[in-house]
Amino acid sequence: MHQQAPPAMRASAPLSRRETLYGLGASLGAVAFSGLLASDRARAAAARPLAPKSGHFNSKAKACILLYMAGGPSHIDTFDPKPKLDELHMQKFVRKDKFASAMASGERYFVKSPFRFRKAGEAGIDMCEHWEHLAGVADELCIYRGCQAESINHPTANYHMNTGNRFGGDPAIGSWVTYGLGTENQDLPGYIVLPEVAYPQGGAANWSNGFLPPYYQGTTLRASGSPILDLNPPPGVTRGHQRRNLDLLAKLNERHLVRHPDHSELAARMENYELAFRMQMQVPGILDISQESAAVQQLYGLDDPRTAELGRRCLLARRLVEQGVRFVQVYTAGWDSHDYIERAHSQRIRAVDRPIAALIRDLKSRGMLDETLIVWTGEFGRSPDNGKRGGGERLGRDHNAKGMAMFLAGGGVPRGEVVGATDEIGEKAVDVAHPIRDVHVTLLKLLGLDDNKLTYFHGGRFKQLSQTGGEVIDELIA
């Protein structure tokens, strides 16, 4: 039987496209060919870096709203009651764990919670008495009591919770999510941060893009005044003028980019100019909450000075997610209660209770809760002990990295459940205990992303949010 010669032996016949590729595969040409393909893919990605992308697997959650309680809320005084502390109140505390408290000197005493707790919802979730509105949506919540941090200093703990790296400089979780999924609205940033006037400890590094391209950095919208400084053109400059200026700048930048294709910062800057131009039309309308009905504004507490500030930002978070923004982060501080915890925590709970409950109700009424993952957390928990500090109303709690509580809602998490537990005094997580990296891996999975596949080559190796890999907390996924 006649056997056809392999392509490499039929030199006299013209080579087909398939045969050409076959030959490349057996030579150094394959390296160059693969490089060309990679370059094409990189240019395509750079052209629309925030274009919607498919996740690694199907998921309910399409967007995330992260409610960040800066300062470290006390789990013992919010969602994790400890009756044992009633028995031990003001007895001397003997330290067993070097992470138990931020204060290492002086006599220490057990401190009971100044609050009463109640069972909320059909699930009977334990909540501090001041959670009046959140109690009404208790059956939508999944309280997680097993998280353990690694730092008891605010800046490093904030960096760890937000970026996975205690020392800062790495991409924030919102940057990783937009890198992996893009965004639904090309006229808005994929990752938006709604801070208070004063930034949390650690500053803007909490929402930095780190080593990811600049497209993925969190964009802050100011709490008062113009949401973004210099967003609108100066007097006398029309959108036509801006468009012509941008077109000329783009031509000059494109010429430079042809000569220096490795300058990704230039491509990012060009895209950011265009995005800012598009945002001039989108942002004012989205931030105009007067478009909302009086009933919705009242739901979020805009009629109450105690709740109006956070209520406005929670309402903006809903409007942004509704418009296709992938990741929204809302900050509110004041939880660092080393003393006067009864006064401080009761005020903070009342300030956030109504807006957060409203956000959950509003999303559910619009059919958006299943597709929106809500996360409530601080940077660490608080200790069951403190220095005596005069006793009475002056009592408070110090920082505690080994025990804390957070809650999740919507986006594929269990409804009306409590996951994990701390010990009888709330000092340390003892059931379903996981480090922050496992929480990050789980949040990514809820959004359809695999931490081991969501990587970026930097500094000679592929990097990921969890740093060295983590474990999915199965109990947090319905």
- Going 455 to 456 to 459 to 465, the CA torsion angle's sign is negative
How much is the average pLDDT of 272-292? 65
Residue 253 maps to a domain: no
Residue 31 maps to a domain: no
Does the pLDDT at position 40 exceed 50? no
Alpha-carbon distance of 26 to 152, in angstroms, equals 57
Alpha-carbon distance of 140 to 162, in angstroms, equals 24
- Going 157 to 158 to 163 to 167, the CA torsion angle's sign is negative
Question: Mean pLDDT, the chain, as a whole number?
Answer: 84
Name the pLDDT band for 48 (thresholds 50, 70, 90): confident
Does the pLDDT at position 273 exceed 80? no
Residue 468 maps to a domain: yes
How much is the average pLDDT of 194-204? 94
Question: Quick one: which of 217, 465, 461 has its CA closest to 327?
Answer: 217
- As for how many domains the chain has, the answer is 1
Residue 316 maps to a domain: yes
Alpha-carbon distance of 285 to 291, in angstroms, equals 9
Range of the domain at 376: 63-227+286-476
pLDDT tens digit string along 307-349? 999 999 999 999 999 999 999 999 999 999 999 999 999 999 9
pLDDT tens digit string along 432-451? 999 999 999 999 999 999 99
How much is the average pLDDT of 82-93? 94
Whether pTM > 0.85 for this model: the answer is no
Residue 8 maps to a domain: no
Alpha-carbon distance of 317 to 331, in angstroms, equals 11
Question: Quick one: which of 131, 101, 104 has its CA closest to 119?
Answer: 131
Please, are residues 163 and 210 in contact by the beta-carbon 8 Å criterion?
Answer: yes
Tokens standing for 404? 């804390």
Does the pLDDT at position 238 exceed 70? no
pLDDT of residue 23: 46
Residue 338 maps to a domain: yes
Residue 266 maps to a domain: no
Does the pLDDT at position 210 exceed 80? yes
Domain at 157, CATH number: 3.40.720.10
Please, are residues 142 and 414 in contact by the beta-carbon 8 Å criterion?
Answer: yes
Give the dihedral of Cα atoms 327, 333, 338, 344; nearest 10 deg: -120
Does the pLDDT at position 282 exceed 70? no
Residue 379 maps to a domain: yes
pLDDT tens digit string along 346-379? 999 999 999 999 999 999 999 999 999 999 999 9
